[in-house]
């Protein structure tokens, strides 16, 4: 295998989370890009080949359906425990349409539980990283949101997932113009010990 290592390093270093408010209104990412993101996600590392990642893609009128589903779930759960906030409810209804696509990301628990849950979650996050890198290569913005209804047990059934499964978050995808914001990381030397 012969790869351009400099290009791969550059791709990894230039991957960014780009928030939906930065997406160009009314511009849509071609479905073929989303399909390639999903295909590349499918090649993430996976213990015992459990392939735990699951995706539900919303676009077009589906974004409004997603907004209504998540807002209704939020209202149901928060009214029960008296934590409902109208502003948050309205944001859940309005913000999804800023994105071209929203991908609900789940972890399907291996029925036989051959692999520890943390390893399954790790595999799904590797799949998400593959999606991020693919989006970056295509010049598309994306952002993984773990807010909203992500940690509501009731939310999983909205996407066809069971009690043992996990809702990992929502990957927002959109068209961006201009340069991605610069990134920053501390030195890896401060995070690494070499033992020779």
Give the fold, CATH level 3, of 32-176.
NADH Oxidase (3.40.109)
Q: What residue ranges in the chain does DSSP mark as E strands? A: 53-59, 101-107, 140-145, 166-175
39 neighbors 110 (Cβ within 8 angstroms): no
Sequence-ordered list of residues with C-beta below 8 angstroms from that of 55, at least 6 positions apart, any chain = 38, 41, 103, 104, 105, 106
Per-domain boundaries in the chain = 32-176
What does each of the 196 residues of the chain score in pLDDT, given as a tens digit? 889 999 999 999 999 999 999 999 999 999 999 999 999 999 999 999 999 999 999 999 999 999 999 999 999 999 999 999 999 999 999 999 999 999 999 999 988 888 999 999 999 999 999 999 999 999 999 999 999 999 999 999 999 999 999 999 999 999 998 877 788 899 999 999 999 9
Helix, strand, coil share of the chain (percent; to 5)? 45, 15, 40
Residue 141 has a CB neighbour count (10 Å cut-off) of 25
Sequence-ordered list of residues with C-beta below 8 angstroms from that of 79, at least 6 positions apart, any chain = none
């Amino acid at each position: 295998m012969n790869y351009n290592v400099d290009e791969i390093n550059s791709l990894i270093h230039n991957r960014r989370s780009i928030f939906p408010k930065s997406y160009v209104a009314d511009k849509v990412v071609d479905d073929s890009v989303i399909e390639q993101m999903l295909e590349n996600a499918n090649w993430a590392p996976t213990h015992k080949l459990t392939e735990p990642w699951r995706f539900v893609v919303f676009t077009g009128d589906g974004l409004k359906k997603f907004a209504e589903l998540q807002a209704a779930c939020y209202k149901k759960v928060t009214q029960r425990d008296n934590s409902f906030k109208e502003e948050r409810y309205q944001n859940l209804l309005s913000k999804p349409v800023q994105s071209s696509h929203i991908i609900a990301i789940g972890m399907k628990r291996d029925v036989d539980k051959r692999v520890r849950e943390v390893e399954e979650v790790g595999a799904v996050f590797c799949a998400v990283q593959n999606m991020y890198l693919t989006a970056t290569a295509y010049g598309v913005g994306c952002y993984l949101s773990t807010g909203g209804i992500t940690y509501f047990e009731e939310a999983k059934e909205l996407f066809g997932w069971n009690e043992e499964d996990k809702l990992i978050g929502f990957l927002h995808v959109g068209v961006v113009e201009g340069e991605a914001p610069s990134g920053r990381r501390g030195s890896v030397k401060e995070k690494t010990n070499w033992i020779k």
